[in-house]
Structure 1
Amino acid sequence: MSLPAEHANDASSKEESATKTGISPRYMVALFGGMTGALAVFCLGLLGLSTTDNLPPPAFSNSLCVDEKLSFLRERPVTSPNLLVVGSSVAWRHFDGAAIVNHDPSARPLNGAFCGLHANQSAYVANWLLDREPTIKQVLMIVDPQDFAGCWKIPNEVFNRDDADQYVYGQASRWGYYMRYFSPGSLVRNSLSVKDQRANRIEFDPLVFDRFGDGPLMTENSRGLLYGRPEPLDQTCFDALTALSERLHQEGRSLTVVSTPLHPDWKAQQDPTGTFLADFDRRLVSALASTNAQYWNGDKEWTATPTAFIDAIHLRWSAAQDFSAALAKQLYLAKASNDDRHEERLASTTP
């Protein structure tokens, strides 16, 4: 039985149109079906990883330790913090909030340090948290020389602030961010280790946080010096510190910068004359000179033996606790000094 002429013409016209565009209806159905199937498999995979605690956080920065810290800030917020800690891994690993509170019960520390940051990136994170946490009165930045090299080639933005705001402070659903920051390679790679890191089963790279956001390195072992010759210091890094210092000064908040202890063997090998570290010390002081920020050279003024370190720059937790106890005294002095300056300003403006 033959089709009516008009139906045959319509079918012929559709075939000709499909031929001209190069896309057939069957191809489109297969394409969208495949996309829907892939999305379903992806979502089921995320649910499966979540059920077994193998699901990494959304890849806001594509750095597992940074993204996991954002998840900590979301899930275990510190209420009304008045002391903010910023910096790279030495600030995250070397600060013990409990030691600070023991020395000053009025302190409410928030460790907002992230691993692997350069000084310009630490300033970016500090500005974000200062905007979100108005109760912060005192900022502590713990640094090492590696933080102040190569800032010129590293973007300031560690993550998108708007997305971090919604995720951390807005409690937005996490699932959409797995699509927005779709990175299957890092998702698979991180899913193989994140459960063990969270359980402190990866000795030198745990993702364990205490109630303040500190990241203890609880190991009795060491991994050698690990770090070689430091890169040249970059003025861009010090400029970022100056800008942060000036902001805090204008807002009446105090800043204390602390250079972390360094392994004595590493210093003997890489800076035998002390010239490099003396220049680092001088440039930190210079970067803070336009404000009332305090600087404490923890490398010079706090004695650390080789057994205190797991590598050239990282302290094991027992040593970090002792270092924090000494640091608490410096913070107390800085706080008292800032309070005195505040009272002087009030007195000078009172009729």
Structure 2
Amino acid sequence: MTTQRSVVVKIGSALLANQDLLTPRFGFLQRLLEDVNRLRADGCNVIICSSGSVALGLRLVGETPESAGVSDKQAAAACGMPLLLNAYRQVGHEYGFEIAQVLLTLGDFEDHRRFLNTRNTVHRLLKAGVVPIVNENDTITTEQIRVGDNDRLAAKVAQMIGAKDLIILTGVDGLYDRNPDDPDAVFIPEVEDVSQYMDATKGKSSLGTGGMETKLLAANMAQEAGCTTWIAQGEVDRPLSTVLSGERRSTKVLPHPNPLSGWDSWIANRLQMAGSLSVSKGVAKALASGERPICREDVVSMDGDFARGDVLHIYDGTGIERARGLSDFSSEELRVLINNPDTEAEQLLGYRTKGEIIRSSNLVMLENRHLLWDAPEGVN
């Protein structure tokens, strides 16, 4: 594995695709990859999380951002991805480096084995001096299996490879305390607690799938892994190096001083909820010791259809999320265990087990630094 400083760069569709013509913006790519080359020369590894495939393919399938449905966008992604990669390749060759395509789905992040396999692939590309271009595989993903936005995808990549910095290039120069079109909006240069600004982040671009809200969600994920997030305007010369050097205005989201381990970070930072459990307030308080597992007698209610090895969200009796942990049972098995509390687990399931739903070593208590998820309906 590489030990060089790694920088993950997220590029939005509006920067990569001409909004009217839906063609690649080669001027932007020239400035971007020239700066990527500059960072590489300074000893940095650079990974690009790129939007743009759907936008570039819409014209080829006869659609617009406003008219395209799900199947239209999937077909557009298939048409647009070769255009996007060819544009990156053409410009990258001017600076003497190769690029590689890494297409991911939600499962590549939520399944730990696939997560590790993906990490190994990215590290191998970096070792070879190749710049990975990461994107969600929009051609095959549906709502149930998609990450949904490349901001959080980039944050998961940053967590995956242990990046020091995540740079999110966008159409504004950073975070404001309200809509930046408001003349009274105040620029926020530095953030420790992103939850303070979530209400001011609604809205998104016409070409993209995320707005400032998803950028702060991504920044919170990066914080937990000890990664600094920078949110900055992309339409400038040297769009990356001027951010890292502090030469121009951007919003810096500080990493947590005590980041989670790789294992705990993977458990705690989710892209979708596989399932959830509700326990009593007393049990939730006892879990805080870090030495207590969650057993079947602790469960008040459950929600979702999940597999063994999925991460569950744990709520107390008031609906407040307290922890996340790796389930040792599928939802089907767990329902059998919960509905038959007086029968031995081995007799119910047909194999020997302690009946611990989530082991203490696979449970991460959530602190104030985490953004909490609302409980599903029916989980109290």
**Which range, TM-score by smaller chain?**
under 0.3
Q: Which has the higher helix share?
A: 1
Q: Which has the higher strand share?
A: 2
| TM-score for both structures, normalised by structure 2 | 0.24
| Bigger Rg over Cα | 1
Name the structure, 1 or 2, with higher relative contact order (CA <8 Å, separation 6+).
1
| TM-score for both structures, normalised by structure 1 | 0.26
